[in-house]
Structure 1
């Protein structure tokens, strides 16, 4: 079903990680508007509701309205100025988060055409770990993986060997 190409490799790894830790009977609040991966979660039997597209830096009310057993935030925290406040306002005791990791050979992503599509944070793994710890979560499982590209050059070669994504399952202590 999924190839080993972007974003399919990332989707396959993320779905396998989610299936390892979350029962299909549990409900998910997926941070961000409906997206290709929230559709994949639904196609695979999960009950998923997305936030409405509100700016979570300013408005966390959607996190408090819904009933859910887990929160997913796949490639969301790097777009937020204040992921700390978002984590504080999550009602669930389970979170699944993935982030693109900061790479020493590549600057943070910044779209030239979209003011929302930029990375304010490209975390190192220890920074996300610390953020979770500081907001009362304990990491149960984590996984790092690469993001190869089909381009030619020095940086594309490094992407075959350098972990790009960090995926975490954490529970509130």
Structure 2
């Protein structure tokens, strides 16, 4: 387990899941710019390259590259207007991705100062499953997990019991 890293619980669950489904010799393209979790992947021995911040709704060239065995996308698809396009264009045969789940007691995340940092989608698990299936993927493993916060109130209590993230491993259907 990876210690002393925020958000520790999410990173630990994601790393454990990835270790179960992907070998360390796989070449990974991580969607999104360099971030704390991509550093964790490198420190754990994974060969990881990140995309450069291009708008994946418009420019999917990065995922059309055959040089990668696996695409990872951790909390990326909710920021895209149309995640279907990039999911369909991926050339790698494996994907590990996580998305925030829609919470009945909280509105979708919206950053009014940064248009790139908004959630166009917060999925229910079945919606993300359908999206992946329509784009040509078969889910082989999935897990949902909570994201408790250290605050007082009704919503923080609900976050202790209500799954916030959905993590999947899928393979391309040919």
**What is the match of residue 67 of structure 1?**
67
Superposition RMSD in Å: 1.2
- Structure 1: gaps (5+ residues): none
Give the secondary-structure state (helix, strand or coil) at the position aligned to 1:95: strand
TM-score normalised over the length of structure 1: 0.96
Alignment match, 1:34 = 34
Aligned-partner Cα distance in 2 for 1:37–1:105: 28
SS state at 2:33 partner: coil
In structure 1, distance between residues paired with 2:53 and 2:65: 14
Query: C-alpha separation between the residues in 1 aligned to 2:110 and 2:60?
Result: 24
Shift of residue 2, structure 1, vs aligned partner: 2.3
- Report SS of the residue matched to 1:163: coil
Contact 1:6 1:147 in 2 (8 A): no
Report how many residues are paired: 172
Asked if 1:2 corresponds to 2:3, the answer is yes
> What is the TM-score normalised by the length of structure 2?
0.96
TM-fit CA distance, 1:65? 3.5
Give secondary structure in 1 for the equivalent of 2:164: strand
**Are the aligned partners of 1:6 and 1:149 in contact in 2 as well (CA < 8 Å)?**
no
1:23-102 aligned at under 5 Å gives the runs 23-65=23-65, 67-102=67-102
Give structure 2 stretches of 5+ with no counterpart.
Answer: none
